[in-house]
Amino acid sequence: MTTLTEVLLETLKDLGTKDFKKFKWHLWQKGVLEGFPAIPKSRLEEADREDTVDLMVQTYCINTIIVTKMVLRKIKQNDLLKNFTGIISEPK
């Protein structure tokens, strides 16, 4: 069974360097992710993909998939949303 963290890591690996940098930028900007806290820039700035997954799970817990989808939409990577189909149910 594939876990959310494995899918998230593979999704981040699918992003090129510039898109990964944009992805992290959205995570540290206050007010960009409505209803969710920003991750401090100092923790994300040098984070690789594995570290970013860990920070997201620590910060967003069960909402990690929601935050990931929000950021993917913001950086126009909608094609990667399919990676999360059937992986986990989102809270309603």
Q: What is the pLDDT of residues 39-85, one digit of tens each?
A: 999 999 999 999 999 999 999 998 999 999 999 999 999 899 888 77
Give the pLDDT confidence of 11-31 residue by residue, as tens digits.
999 999 999 999 999 999 998
Fold of 4-82: Death Domain, Fas (1.10.533)
24 phi and psi, to 5 degrees? -65, -35
Q: Within its chain, how far is the Cα of 20 from the centroid?
A: 10
Query: Rounded to a whole number, what is the distance in angstroms from the first to the last CA of the chain?
Result: 23
Residue 5, pLDDT > 80, answer yes
- Run of H or E including 16: none
Domain coordinates of the chain in residue numbers? 4-82
Per-residue pLDDT band for 91 (boundaries 50, 70, 90) equals very low
